[in-house]
Amino acid sequence: MPSQLANAIRFLSVDAVQKANSGHPGAPMGMAEMAEVLWTKFLRHNPANPKFYNRDRFILSNGHASMLLYSLLHLTGYNLSIEDLKNFRQLHSKTPGHPEYGYTDGVETTTGPLGQGIANAVGMALAEKILAAEFNKDGLNIVDHYTYVFMGDGCMMEGVSHEACSLAGTLGLGKLIVLYDDNNISIDGKVDGWFTENIPQRFESYGWHVVPNVNGHDTAAIQTAIEAARAETGKPSLICCKTLIGKGSANKEGSHKTHGAPLGADEIEATRKHLGWTYPAFEIPQEIYAAWDAKEKGAKLEAEWNELFAQYQAKYPAEAAEFVRRMDKKLPDNFDAYVQAALKEVCAKAETIATRKASQNSIEILAKELPELVGGSADLTPSNLTSWSNSQSITRNGGGNYVHYGVREFGMGAVMNGLALHGGVRPFGATFLMFSEYERNAMRMAALMKINPVFVFTHDSIGLGEDGPTHQPVEQTATLRLIPNMDVWRPCDTAESLVAWAEAIKAEDHPSCLIFSRQNLKFQARNEQQLNDIKRGGYVISEAQGNAQAVIIATGSEVELALEAQKALAAQNIAVRVVSMPSTNVFDRQDAAYKTAILPESLPRIAVEAGHADGWYKYVGLNGAVVGINRFGESAPAELLFKEFGFTVENVVDTVKSVL
């Protein structure tokens, strides 16, 4: 007979799904014993302080089982009431259909898109490893916690789980423990027709410690398996829990019909009888609450850690202050002044270099002030230029601040999200702009969660050249700008590159994409006002000589072209203003007066960007024009391609004249 503690999860889950008439009862019912053992015997957390620095992280990667997590949070004493459970899946509730970071205390990450939760968890375990190596001292291990994950067959099938778990094995993340809900069921039914790989062998080949064939309904067996996983410190662990979906359901146990639909009133009633649960819907007896309650244990745990930290603080005051600053996600006090001084130096140098090189120089500048930076690249470090003089590669045996992600763009993005969510580190990771496509859903999740990793992209256009259309982005910049709560920057020179980097670092509630060129771009001289206005996303980089007849808007490598066209038009007595718009997203947030001052409504506008044109009609209107690219590129040297696709002074001049 299942334990009453596990049954409390089962009935809260089926009652909430039934009341909402929507949701997934099968997984919470099947994983109830797994949850009972982990949360009552092992998980170190404090319901009264969900942000306790040294808590264990728990990730429900199969996010559709959200009622399992909400039940656990409610039962153990988090700020989640029975009324909140009754509001499951309702508008503005604390219990949305899939767990959402920021909505509910105790939810460590937003899960739902399968496979990303486990990848986030790899990032959290990696953050723990990095911070432990940096801050722990003999006998004073202030960073010392586990990351626990529940995942199901769906997560296992998603490619991103392969990417992240392969990396976790290579890096030897021994404090990552995954409990796999191996129930052989997905939405379409038994998985035997489409998912037959040997999971234990797969994870052993990654370098994981595997505990196979655990009875997922036997609490003693689960406990033994978790103890074995904790004893293996050099490898991440996978515990394969054989379970029945909908465990305990009187007539539907083991059926895919319990996956994504309420059990129905009759079946719930029959299940109450079957499991000897005599309490009405949403009622939990006091003795079961008492057995689950983790508040006292959690307070004691945090008090012990506070004592340890006080000892650490007395002995290592500077390190302690730095640790708190970083875990509280605060920038150094002098950060703005530091950036301003660095910007002056960058302008004094006035270098003509590729913006990918300007990006590397910016990283070098920022890393001196921000030891929390953790960089990385999806196997393109020499091309993305994301390393710096003090970057140290993270290995199996040590910490550091640079991750070699391998050719795993999606995995990289999702691991970066986990690093950011953990706190104490500020991740950035890079690939070619074209391969943002592989990373995109992780970027969307960062924006959705309002977290702030920095996604770095180089080789930003047909300027990539000979690698051809498979590697030349066309629609990528435009579509990245469409992601809500994402700032996209495409700088035109060294000054804009540093400002873009600084603004991305200062962002608290959104991620940023920084897009850089492969080819050299000329430095543009600016006065102080222009320098200050870069961070507003768009500004006048060159005023018309005389009364302006039109405005050219450009970004990145095309700013230089727009300025050349301005000169050529002036020679024909046509005065135009040139606006550099490194970030349309940031420009759109400016007040109406500023936007009108930069783009006067009375003047026709022409946008110039080596990417898809459609997004620019928002700024030029139907009476304006766009010099852009609406077809795939070609393989050829960059200078020939720019000519072929109309990125010439002559074509920009003709386009301006066509709207006058």
Enter the DSSP assignment of 634. -
CA–CA dist 363, 386 (Å, integer): 7
**Helix, strand or coil for residue 341?**
helix
Question: With contact defined as beta carbons under 8 Å apart, do 262 and 25 qualify?
Answer: yes
The tokens for 493 are 């020179």
Question: With contact defined as beta carbons under 8 Å apart, do 551 and 577 qualify?
Answer: yes
Nearest to 634 by CA among 650, 645, 624, 646: 645
Dihedral, CA of residue 90, residue 92, residue 95 and residue 101, to nearest 10:
140
Name the burial class of residue 329, with classes exposed (0-12), middle (13-18) and buried (19+) by CB atoms within 10 angstroms of its CB. middle
Question: With contact defined as beta carbons under 8 Å apart, do 603 and 544 qualify?
Answer: no
For the chain, the residue count is 660
SS (H, E, C) 94-141: CCCCCCCCCCCCCCCCCCCCCCHHHHHHHHHHHHHHHHHHHHCECCEC
351 noted as active-site residue: no
Nearest to 460 by CA among 430, 482, 485, 487: 430
Question: With contact defined as beta carbons under 8 Å apart, do 184 and 178 qualify?
Answer: no
302: Cβ–Cβ under 8 A, 6 or more apart, which residues? 46, 49, 52
Question: What sign results for the dihedral spanned by CA atoms 366, 371, 373, 374?
Answer: positive
Question: With contact defined as beta carbons under 8 Å apart, do 195 and 187 qualify?
Answer: no
Q: 72 vs 35, 75, 106, 218, 656, CA distance in Å?
A: 8, 5, 10, 19, 63
Q: Are strands 550-554 and 176-182 parallel, antiparallel or unpaired?
A: unpaired
Q: What are phi and psi of 87, to 5 degrees?
A: -90, 15
Question: What sign results for the dihedral spanned by CA atoms 250, 254, 255, 260?
Answer: positive
Active-site residue, from 33, 128, 409, 496: 409
Q: List active site positions.
A: 409
